[in-house]
Amino acid sequence: MPMLTINNLHSAYQGQVVLQGVDLSLAEGDILALLGPSGCGKTTLLRAIAGLQPTSHGQISIANTLCNDDGVLVPSEQRHVGMIFQDYALFPHLTVAQNILFGVSEKNPDLRAQRLQEMLALVRLQGLAERFPHQLSGGQQQRVSIARALAYRPQLLLLDEPFSNIDAQVRGQLICEIRQILKQLNISAIFVTHSKDEAFAFADQLALFKAGKIVQCGRPETLYELPNDRYVAEFLGSVNYLPASIYDNYQVDTPIGRLSSRTALNKPISYAGELLLRPQQFELLGDDNSDAVISERRFLGNHCHYVVDILQYRLQVHSEQTQWQLGQRVKLQMKAHSLVVF
């Protein structure tokens, strides 16, 4: 059963159309990242799901309950949705314990105490119940925010750039911890970010936004390896393009030779377009007779970024082989993968 279903959703803000016909589905227990540049509609969609943003057309259903439609608007507090904000939104005058239990409707003191201890253990903040937010680190404050949202026992958890204010050294660990907690509790979640690295690390599904529309949705690996247009390809990582002509169902002709695809190409024979090649999809081999020459080199720790000039083309190459030097002639060899031709 889908935890969330959105059909043809439209919304405007201060006279500007922000969401333009959004369709989306989220399975129970899955984590979805809404990814895209600032102002593309990610947070507006999150607020609409929570019931905090008016919509002009379309439907939102949460756990098979219709929450938004023409003439239907279920109040935010009745949607069983939890929210986590980038600024934590903790009450500074309340202790950790009081913050966590703030939205819990249970009145029995023993059950409230039990819920508190469960949440503190879940986010690894045992012993900090009586501290105030200003006595905690940024990562600890965000854990309190997570515990407060989960103590409410939501059906769906919404996270609005929850890691943007976290120190980079702590961020990776916190992303893994929160993902593990959500999976442990089988909670569906939607996560807004403008960072592809966060989306890749945190989400099961990825929806890429552009100007109020979702341009592609699916597994992060699918969007990265098989983008449906240049916008998706370039947003998710560095790219090279080479002119290409389809030779047969599995091969293309390019200026650097005939290249083979692991899977069938979705273009007709003789179609002329551009072949997408990621920098890490190349291998470099030494060849003093090659036309390819290294024109730029940057050492980046676990790999080198090279620019290789061949014919009139400049290709970015990422390689764990750090021995190649400026001016050295090399042979370009493509690693086996599914080719994408635009």
DSSP string, 128-148: -TT--GGGS-HHHHHHHHHHH
- Inside any domain, residue 233: no
Task: Tell me which residue range forms the domain holding 248.
Answer: 238-341
Burial of 110 (0-12, 13-18, 19+ CB in 10 A): exposed
- Return the CATH number at 205: 3.40.50.300
- Return the CATH number at 248: 2.40.50.140
**Weakest mean pLDDT among 36-50, 166-180, 188-202:** 166-180
Same domain, 72 and 16: yes
Strand intervals (E) in 92-227: 156-160, 188-193, 205-210, 213-218
Q: What percent of the chain has pLDDT over 90?
A: 75
Same domain, 210 and 267: no
Going by C-alpha positions, the residue among 59, 19, 25 that lies closest to residue 205 is 25
Q: Would you place residue 236 in the very low, low, confident or very high pLDDT band (cuts 50, 70, 90)?
A: very high
Q: What is the mean pLDDT of the chain?
A: 92
Same domain, 64 and 150: yes
Rounded distance, CA 127 to CA 120, Å?
A: 8
Domain count, the chain: 2
Q: Would you place residue 247 in the very low, low, confident or very high pLDDT band (cuts 50, 70, 90)?
A: very high
**Last-in-domain residue among 207, 228, 249:** 228
